[in-house]
Each structure stands twice: as C-alpha cells, then as structure tokens.
Structure 1
Amino acid sequence: MSTLTTSIAVGDRTVSDARRVSELGLSWPEASLTGIVVAGVLAPATTSGATRTGLQWNSQYAVAGDDVVYVESVVTRVEQSETGAEFDRHVRLVDEAGSIREEGIETWRSPEPSEVRFDPGVDFCTPAWGERLRESLSTDTAFASSLSTWDGTVGLRCTDSSGRARELQLRIYRGTIIDVARRVPGGATFTLIAPAVTWVDLVFAERNDFMRRAISGEFSSSGDGYEYLRLTKPLDIIIAHARSAAREWQSVSGHSLPLTCGREARP
C-alpha cells in the first residue's frame, strides 16, 4: 500500500497492489458493503490529519471473496480556507481483467490548509479557471478563426461530490471571449458536462483525446445540441488550453504525477 506523503493536489494518483479479497482478513460486512470495506483497506492513506466526511458509492458488479482486485484513486478537487482544507478523491475498485467493479467519491477534511495545494489552473469550471483560459485563448488564431462568425455562450460544467456542480460560461463574440462568469445574461447556448474525474483524466492524459471521450459518452451536453456538435473544433482547442494550464502549474510547482505502487496509474 502506498501513502500520500506530500501536500495533496488535484491529479494526484495512486494504485495499490492487487489482492484476493478473501485474503485481506476482513470481518465480513453485508455483501453491499464489501466493496467499500475492501477499498478502505487497499486505498492509500491521505494526509495524517484528514478525516473522511462523505462518501458516495456505486457498485456495477459487487466484488466477492474469490475476486482479485486493486484500487486506483485520483484527487479531483481541493479547497483551502482559513479554517482548513477539503478535497475529493475518486476511488475505483478494479479486477484483474481491468474492469471497474465498484467506485465512489470520498470527501476529506483537514484542519491544516497547508495539507492541500491549490491552483486555479486545475480548479475546473470556475471563473478563475475561465480567466486563465481567456488569457491563453486570446492569442490563439485557430480559436479566433473557428468562431469568427459565432455569437453565443459556451457553458462548461464539472460535477463533484454530493451532486454539486461548478459551472462556467464563456461569452464569445466573433472569436473573442468577451465575458467570463458563472452566469451571463441570456445563459449558455449549450453546456459541456462531465464528472470531475473525467476532467482530471482528460487534462492530465498524455494526449488530448477529448474527441474520443466525447464520442464514447464521457461528456454530455445540454442546450442547443446542433451548436454543440458544430463547435467541436473550438471545444477541442479550449480543452487543449486547459491541458496547457494544468501542465504549466505542474511544471512550475514541481508537483510530480502520479504516485503509484505495484501498477501503473491509468488516466
């Protein structure tokens, strides 16, 4: 089992060794809780002062005693305040065939703000993140050209624990982002939507595979579906700049990804 030994940041990944469930020496709970208990045993520890304050869990195919499984985890959100820090961690329970059997989102709370590392470049779908995108996209001629005749608003939404959603709207006029806000007058023409773990996987993946993920259904949309499909090229450019912002933060901060044990983490 591996341990997070440094301050926690969005994108931190861990992978446990694979173990047979029956060999973990557990006091067996009811079947519906087995996966949660196994994940708790195999998942790496967080910082020493953190306490888990919430858990959402989903079982696609519940694990049993004969199964050999390992745990992948990734931090998807961090927040700092004067009174402490909070972060979400997405946990996947994976079998030897590579199938995700069960998964969930943990919310952790620490009294020490220094136990997390926060940066707007990975605080997806917030106004500060949007301002980073606007500054970066302002010099991208391909982005301006792809929207040279368009007048509308692109919404970007990230869902996290407890069903909460962070949403950003980019008001665009003829290739220029003229407003960045949680809501702009008139609302979004369409909104691109994905869970926090999908945003993390996308921005830290080795290559920009937004199109593949969108086609496979990892992203959804609301609003004008025709405009969403028509603007796949500028959306792909926006994602490319989001990836650059995340990697710039990673480079400047010296934060290395991922931390693994026994297996290679999969974005």
Structure 2
Amino acid sequence: MTTPFKPGRRLLADADALAAASPLALADSVAEAIGQELGQAVRLVSAELETNRAVQAEFGELVTPSAVVTAVQSQKGRELRTEVTAQLEGNAAYSASVRFAFAEAIDNTDEVSELFCPGSAGWNSELRDRLRDDSEFSTLIEAYDGTIGLSIGGRPVHIRCYRGHVLEVVSRSILGADFVLSIPGDVFIDLMTAERNRFMETAMSGEMRSTGSGYEYLRMTSALMRIIDHARAMAVTAGYAGSESNLDTNLQVA
C-alpha cells in the first residue's frame, strides 16, 4: 500500500488537455488518469457526473481537467476509500464536475486519520465535542431548538441543538434537519484551506445551496460560520490545511 493522500491533495497538475467527446468518455479518461496518480492498486467504485446542461462542449474542443482529493477513509480496517472531485473546463460557458470514489486494499490503517473524512462518525464526534465546549456557539444557538443540516461531499451531517446545547452530531437525526446546506467536496476543501473563513463569500457566489427552511438557514448563518471555524481547526489538526495563524483566535486547536 502506498501512503494515503490527504484531503486537499491536488491531482492532474501535469495532465494534458483532453479532446471533448461525450461527457462519459471524458469522465472515463479522467478516472484513468487519477487512478494512475493514486496508484496501480486502486479500483474505481463510483462516479457521479454533473454537467452544465445549458452548453455542451463541442466535439474535439479541448477540455482542461483538474482534481482534488476531498476525503479519505478506512472502511472496516481493510480498505482505503479515496474520494476525488474533478473539474472539466472547456470554453467560458462549459463546465462539468465528476465525483469519483476509488478503493484500495490496505493492511495498516495507522496513517488514516478519522478527520480525513468530513462527515464520518469520527469527524462528527470531534465536531460535537468542539461545539459543546464553545461558549460562543452556545450563545449563537441559545434561542434555537432544531437541527442544522449539512451535506459535505454528499455525506449528511445533522447537528441537533436545544437552546444553547448541542445534543448530538450524527449522520441523520430522527426528525431530519430544518434545512440542509449542501457543500460540494471540493468547495469544502477550499473553505478549509483558505487563509480565512470565506463562508459568506462562498455562500453568496452560489457554490453552496440550501434546501428546507430558508428562514432557519438565515437565522443560523452566524452559527454556520462558527461551525466552519471549527471544521477549519479540525483540518489543521488533521494536517491537511494551513496553520493556526489562519484560524479564529478564539479557537483552540486540539
């Protein structure tokens, strides 16, 4: 087994532009190139393609690929799962993204931190402990009785709150979330590795989308920003983002 790549690792830096064919053919070519960088032992287990349906790349047009590792997780101690989001950029109007998952058999999981996979059970547990110890976050939710929902790279995170207290952070709460803020995996990595918390700019740019109660989403905006502060601190702890100097000074990195 090769040393696992950490989230935030950029791939395809030296990749040649691809001649546009069908979106599926493009995705297949990109998957092969990513697989070669991850190691010959990996196998592709899933791929989700999302294209800009307004404009399609013309046949033969050059499309530039880029990719970033968004999550790494050990499954049952026997398999390493690496998630990668690839972007395909053609002319100014065409774009597509593909979310891949690759798997590789492993013998040793010591180098795979639970914090490498946002939304995993270990990541949720760490976030829960941080939020419970954060007096500022308690103040932000002191009048809130509900569930804040996130979807990070497709993994749901439900933060159940009751009047200043964090009851649980789990993949799915019994009654569901009041709203769900969907953050694509590569967008989440950008939030984690930016020099400062860019939550508001990212939200205003349309890179994240909210479903459910718009009222509760707006009411919890400051709480969401604080959650991102803690997620950024967790990324520093895991060793795949920046340094403590880029974090909110009120946060302590474990």
Scaled by the length of structure 1, the TM-score of the pair is 0.73
Give matches, 1:77-226, under 5 Å: 77-80=71-74, 81-95=76-90, 101-114=95-108, 117-160=111-154, 166-226=155-215
* 1:34 CA drift (Å): 5.2
Higher relative contact order (CA 8 A, sep 6+): 1
Structure 1, gaps ≥5 residues long: 23-27, 161-165, 253-267
Match of 2:43 in 1: 51
Distance 2:164 2:231 in 1: 17
Size of the alignment, in residue pairs?
A: 236
Report whether the alignment pairs 1:35 with 2:26.
Answer: yes
Distance 2:68 2:50 in 1: 16
The 8 Å contact of residues 17 and 65 in structure 2, kept in 1 or not, is answered as: no
Distance 2:98 2:7 in 1: 16
Report whether the alignment pairs 1:62 with 2:57.
Answer: yes
Q: How far does the alpha carbon of each residue in 1:23-67 deviate from its partner, in whole angstroms, 9 at most, with x for none? A: xxxxx9x55555336535765621231122333334444265453
Q: Identity of paired residues, percent? A: 29
Higher mean C-alpha deviation, range 54-63 or range 232-241: 54-63
Q: How far does the alpha carbon of each residue in 1:165-217 deviate from its partner, in whole angstroms, 9 at most, with x for none? A: x2222221222212233333433222222222222222222321111112222
SS of residue matched to 2:167:
strand
**CA RMSD of superposed structures (Å):** 3.2
Structure 2, gaps ≥5 residues long: 242-254
* 1:146 CA drift (Å): 1.7
Q: Which amino acid aligns with 1:14?
A: L
Describe the shift of the 1:150–1:124 C-alpha distance in structure 2 as closer, same or farther (beyond 3 A): same
Q: Which amino acid aligns with 2:132?
A: S
Describe the shift of the 1:85–1:40 C-alpha distance in structure 2 as closer, same or farther (beyond 3 A): closer
Match of 2:218 in 1: 229
SS of residue matched to 2:138:
helix
Distance 1:59 1:182 in 2: 28
Q: Which amino acid aligns with 2:87?
A: R
* 1:245 CA drift (Å): 0.3
Scaled by the length of structure 2, the TM-score of the pair is 0.77
SS of residue matched to 2:37:
coil
